[in-house]
Amino acid sequence: MTAAVEFQNVSRHFGQVRAVDGVNLAIAPGEFFAMLGPSGSGKTTCLRLIAGFEQPTGGSVRIFGDAVEGVPPYRRNVNTVFQDYALFPHLSILDNVAYGLMVKGVDKATRLRQAEEALELVKLPGYGARRPGQLSGGQRQRVALARALVNKPKVLLLDEPLGALDLKLREQMQEELKSLQRALGITFVFVTHDQGEALSMADRVAVFNNGNIVHEGTPEDIYKRPKQRFVADFVGSSNVIAPDVMTRLGGEKRWASLRPEAIRVRPAGEGVAATVQQSSFLGAVNRLLVEAGGTRLHVMLPADQPVPAIGTTIGLGWVGSDIHYMDDAS
Amino acid sequence: MSVAASPSILPGRGGFAGALSDSFWRKPKLLLFLMLTPPLLWLGIIYIGSLLALLLQSFFSIDEFSGMVNYEFTLATYAELLRPSNFDIILRTVTMAAAVTIASAAVAFPIAYYAARYAQGKWKALFYLGIMLPLWSSYLVKIYAWKLILAKEGILNWAFEKLHLTWLLDGILGLPVVGGNSLSVSYIGTFLVFVYIWLPYMILPTQAALERVPGNLIEASSDLGATPAQAFRTVILPLALPGIVAGSIFTFSLTLGDYIIPQIIGSSRLFIGQAVYTQQGTAGNIPLAAAFSVVPIVIMGLYLWLAKRQGAFDAL
What is the tens place of the pLDDT at every residue in A167-188? 888 888 888 899 999 999 999 9
Residue % of chain A over a pLDDT of 90: 61
Cβ-in-10-Å burial (0-12, 13-18, 19+) of A279 comes to middle
Domain co-membership, B38 together with B120: no
Q: What's the confidence (pLDDT) of residue B1?
A: 55
Q: What is the CATH number of domain A5-233?
A: 3.40.50.300
Nearest partner of A27 among A85, A78, A100, A81, judged by Cα: A78
Q: State the pairing for strand pair A313-317/A264-266.
A: antiparallel
* Sequence-ordered list of residues with C-beta below 8 angstroms from that of A274, at least 6 positions apart, any chain: A290, A291, A292, A297, A313, A314, A315, A316
- pLDDT of B220 > 90? The answer is yes
- List the domain boundaries for chain A: 5-233, 238-325
Compute the average pLDDT of residues A47-58. Answer: 94
Do A8 and A60 touch, CB atoms closer than 8 A? yes
The count of structural domains within chain B is: 2
Domain co-membership, B26 together with B120: no
| Structure confidence at residue B152 as a pLDDT band (50, 70, 90) | confident
Taking the C-alpha atoms of residue B123 and residue B107, their distance in angstroms, rounded to an integer, is: 19
Q: What's the confidence (pLDDT) of residue B134?
A: 85
DSSP secondary structure letter of residue A207: E
Tens digit of pLDDT for each residue in A113-135?
Answer: 999 999 999 989 989 999 999 99
Tens digit of pLDDT for each residue in B270-287?
Answer: 999 899 888 888 778 888
- pLDDT of A68 > 70? The answer is yes
Compute the average pLDDT of residues B80-108. Answer: 93
Contact A151 B214 (CB under 8 A): no
Residue that wins the pLDDT comparison between A228 and B180: A228
Domain co-membership, B125 together with B253: yes
Phi, psi at A302, each rounded to 5°: -55, 145
Taking contacts as CB-CB distances below 8 angstroms, the residues of chain B near A63 are none
Do A84 and A164 touch, CB atoms closer than 8 A? yes
Domain range enclosing B39:
15-57
Is residue B153 helix, strand or coil?
coil
Per the prediction, chain B carries an average pLDDT of 89
Domain co-membership, B153 together with B97: yes
Nearest partner of A319 among A254, A250, A221, A273, judged by Cα: A250
Domain co-membership, B51 together with B111: no
Q: What's the confidence (pLDDT) of residue B197?
A: 94
Q: Does B225 touch chain A (CB under 8 A)?
A: yes
Query: Does residue B1 fall inside a structural domain?
Result: no
Measured CA distances, A115 to A75, A84, A102, A106, B225 (Å): 21, 21, 10, 11, 16
Torsion of CA A156, A160, A166, A170, to 10 degrees: 40
Torsion of CA A250, A255, A257, A263, to 10 degrees: 20
Selecting from B219, B227, B239 the residue whose C-beta is nearest the C-beta of A53 gives B219
Minimum distance, in Å, between the CA of residue B106 and any CA atom of chain A: 23
Domain of residue B277, CATH code: 1.10.3720.10
Taking contacts as CB-CB distances below 8 angstroms, the residues of chain B near A95 are none
Domain co-membership, B49 together with B135: no
Query: Does residue B71 fall inside a structural domain?
Result: no
Domain co-membership, B164 together with B47: no
Q: What string of H, E and C letters represents the secondary structure of B56-93? A: HHCCCEECCCCCCEECCCCCHHHHHHCCHHHHHHHHHH
Fold of A238-325: OB fold (Dihydrolipoamide Acetyltransferase, E2P) (2.40.50)
Domain co-membership, B53 together with B112: no
Cα dihedral sign, A35-A38-A44-A49: negative
Domain co-membership, B225 together with B269: yes
* Sequence-ordered list of residues with C-beta below 8 angstroms from that of B275, at least 6 positions apart, any chain: B86, B89, B289, B292
Letter string b/e over residues B196-210, b meaning 16 or more CB atoms within 10 A of that residue's CB: bbbbbbbbbbbbbbb
Query: Does residue B52 fall inside a structural domain?
Result: yes
Taking the C-alpha atoms of residue A299 and residue A261, their distance in angstroms, rounded to an integer, is: 6
Query: Does residue B73 fall inside a structural domain?
Result: no
Taking contacts as CB-CB distances below 8 angstroms, the residues of chain B near A83 are 216
Selecting from A79, A84, A90 the residue whose C-beta is nearest the C-beta of B223 gives A79
Q: Does B233 touch chain A (CB under 8 A)?
A: no
* Sequence-ordered list of residues with C-beta below 8 angstroms from that of A198, at least 6 positions apart, any chain: A34, A36, A190, A192, A205, A219
Contact B223 A51 (CB under 8 A): yes
Minimum distance, in Å, between the CA of residue B265 and any CA atom of chain A: 42
Other Cβ atoms less than 10 A from the Cβ of A132: the count is 19
Compute the average pLDDT of residues A238-265. Answer: 88
Query: Does residue B143 fall inside a structural domain?
Result: yes
Selecting from A83, A88, A151 the residue whose C-beta is nearest the C-beta of B217 gives A88
Q: What's the confidence (pLDDT) of residue B316?
A: 59
Residue % of chain B over a pLDDT of 90: 43
Name the β-bridge partners of A302: A285
Minimum distance, in Å, between the CA of residue B280 and any CA atom of chain A: 47
Tens digit of pLDDT for each residue in A137-171?
Answer: 889 999 999 999 999 999 999 999 888 788 888 88
Q: State the pairing for strand pair A17-27/A5-14.
A: antiparallel
Measured CA distances, A137 to A133, A142, A181 (Å): 10, 9, 21
Minimum distance, in Å, between the CA of residue A139 and any CA atom of chain B: 18
Q: State the pairing for strand pair B61-62/B69-70.
A: antiparallel
Domain co-membership, B35 together with B164: no
Q: Does B214 touch chain A (CB under 8 A)?
A: yes
Name the β-bridge partners of B169: none
Q: What's the confidence (pLDDT) of residue B315?
A: 59
Cβ-in-10-Å burial (0-12, 13-18, 19+) of B262 comes to buried
Q: What is the DSSP string of A229-255?
A: HHHHHHH-SPEEE-HHHHHHTTS-SS-
